[in-house]
Amino acid sequence: MEVIDQPNLEKLNALNNKYVLKIVKEFVNLCKPSKVTVITDTKEDIDYVRIRAIEVKEEENLTLEGHTIHYDGFLTMSNHDQARDKANTQILVSKKEKGSYPWINTMEREKGLNEILEIMDGCMEGHECVIRFFCLGPKNSKFSILALQLTDSFYVAHSEDLLYRAGYKEFKRLNGSNDFFYFIHSSGELIGDPPVTKNLEKRRIYVDLQEDRVLSVNNQYAGNSLGLKKLALRLAIYKANNEDWLAEHYFIMGVDPKGKDRVSYFCGAFPSACGKTSTAMLPGQTIAGDDIAYLRVWEDGYAHAANIERGIFGIIKDVNAEDDPVIFDALTTPRETIFSNVLISNGTPYWIGDGRDIHDGGLNYSGKWNIGKKDEDGKEIPHSHPNARYTIRIEELNNIDPNLHNPDGVQVHGIFYGGRDSDTMPPVLESLNWEHGVFLGASIESETTSATLGAEGVRSQQPMANLDFLVVPLGKYLKNHQKFGSRLKYPPRIFSTNYFLKNKDGKYLNGILDKLCWVIWAEGRTNGDYDAINTPIGFIPQYKDLKEIFKIYLNKEYSENDYIEQFSIRIQYLLEKLDRIEAMYKKEKNIPDFFWRVLKKQRSELLTLSIKYNKEVISPFEL
């Protein structure tokens, strides 16, 4: 490792960890960088990363202090490096495991390693490699998993400083253990100004469960290159489901009801475009995490949750002053922020749906841009990519929860599972018990919209909004949830939400901010404030409680007609949903018995209800 000078070598040796040295030696020799720099937790080292990102032109300063722009590779609107590459993200498994995960891409481990290690041979030639140390979760916490990162991208390294807690000192506390994840990333050969990955056809992101590592090459987009995010989630799911905890695609929010001296914490999982961010950022509430959470059984009998991140890598499309005032303010005032793949005009970033006039001219991910510019396939290039992003520390938001860095996490009172459903599920309901709640999470469906190619209204199943990241069989995953709740004296209450219910004319029955009322009702249920109506699908709110909540929180009259439209039990649609869920899960092996018990009981009770009332839609006032 001649490319590591003595001061940097001393930083590595100070960890007293032979496993770190072995990994560094193996991949420095393989990737062949021209220089290696070890980054510790010091301000000087962290500033070096930010400064070098500008010097090597992976980022460029913008007008507002702390703001920078980064661009990922772009050839056409259908061939670029500006989104997760699902096709080339492979989970490496043994021969006997091949085919056990029909919903994700798997590759036989030996074959995959041979391929990617050949591609990575010399991939850092002419580049500087930085060695990073991070802590996934609060420092000095039972939740946390340490992470070692080698990358030749200063944009990646800078992003990680915004998104994760520094972990060099935490590695010293390992006392030589190999209990950490590690991530090797290279942007590969670069081209252009700004420099972007050249060989996109050789882009590979391989998750090696056996070694707790991710190998990623020929990409810069953070979803492919930042191993600590969704790639690390896969490693954590595998670890959690072979131990006794949960790694989930959850936000964490604090709900602070008016006139009550308390804050109740909720987690929530929603598929894309189903209201996850807008729920986590509701006005008057606090946010402790927007994307990934670890949950553990705690000594007080509750589940506790911690955000493994300290920042947000968020989709910037449609963030505007009216709908997302907290985030919009943070993005339009001076602070350390990385924008990616948006239009820059006169040093100011512009993006789709920001509420401002589109400037005709400037620079974006395609180079010089003007309205009407098309790619080589004749497709129009928007001024900002639909998947353009911002990266910012959560502490920069004025609604940050004070327990973000609490090593004990937060006590979880409830969990929301939300989908996109135009005709079946009510806006909010509470599960009958923990097992029924797991069933609710496993039954999430998301409808396609006009923004998706193909037919509208097609429902896809999205168990716990986590299907894309599961690396264990679904049966094992559900069984682990069941066992987790059974070990708790006070398991979280589980709620289903649906903000997309429509009437026969296709008009939404929910207002944009109505979700605040559903959340407040759920918080009240966890604290015994409200009674509820027992139905075959769960507990639904009483009208009098919702009427009061709408008046207090939105100063809005909530009519009996609204209530009937939203909370009637639509028996035929519910039975059809059960049929779809049953068909999906019958394709899987070893689905636990409790799942089928819940499904069978719910179907039987819905049929009994239909016979009793002799109709398919039953008003909540009749129940």
For the chain, how many residues are written? 623
Please name which of 315, 89, 60, 50 lies closest in space to residue 195, comparing C-alpha atoms: 60
**177 backbone dihedrals φ, ψ, rounded to 5°:** -75, 155
What gap in Å lies between CA 447 and CA 248, rounded to an integer?
Answer: 22
User: What tokens were used for 217?
Assistant: 């090459």
Q: What secondary structure, in 3-state letters, does 34-67 show? A: CEEEECCCCHHHHHHHHHHHHHCCCCEECCCCCE
Please name which of 562, 550, 494 lies closest in space to residue 520, comparing C-alpha atoms: 550
Please name which of 427, 392, 361 lies closest in space to residue 570, comparing C-alpha atoms: 427
CB count in 10 Å sphere of residue 56: 17
What gap in Å lies between CA 186 and CA 168, rounded to an integer?
Answer: 21
> Residue 79 forms beta bridges with which residues?
76
Task: Using CB atoms within 10 Å of the CB of residue 224, give its burial: 0 to 12 exposed, 13 to 18 middle, 19+ buried.
Answer: buried
Please name which of 522, 530, 545 lies closest in space to residue 430, comparing C-alpha atoms: 522
Name the amino acid, one letter, at 525: R
- Sequence-ordered alpha helix ranges (H) in 90-134: 109-120
Residue of 123, 135, 267, 274 marked catalytic: 274
Integer angstrom CA distances of residue 356 from 95, 151, 327, 338, 344: 54, 37, 15, 20, 13
SS3 category, 170 = helix
What gap in Å lies between CA 542 and CA 545, rounded to an integer?
Answer: 6
Contacts 24+ apart (CB under 8 A), 48-51: 49/130, 49/154, 49/157, 49/158, 49/161, 50/158, 50/161, 50/336
User: What tokens were used for 38?
Assistant: 């070890």
What gap in Å lies between CA 560 and CA 510, rounded to an integer?
Answer: 14
CB 196 within 8 A of CB 365: no
Using only C-alpha atoms, the chain has a radius of gyration, in whole angstroms, of 25
Integer angstrom CA distances of residue 299 from 296, 487, 559: 10, 11, 44
Q: Confirm whether 135 is a catalytic residue.
A: no
CB 233 within 8 A of CB 292: yes
The CB-side HSE value for 388 (13 A sphere, CA atoms) comes to: 29
Which residues are known catalytic residues? Answer: 274
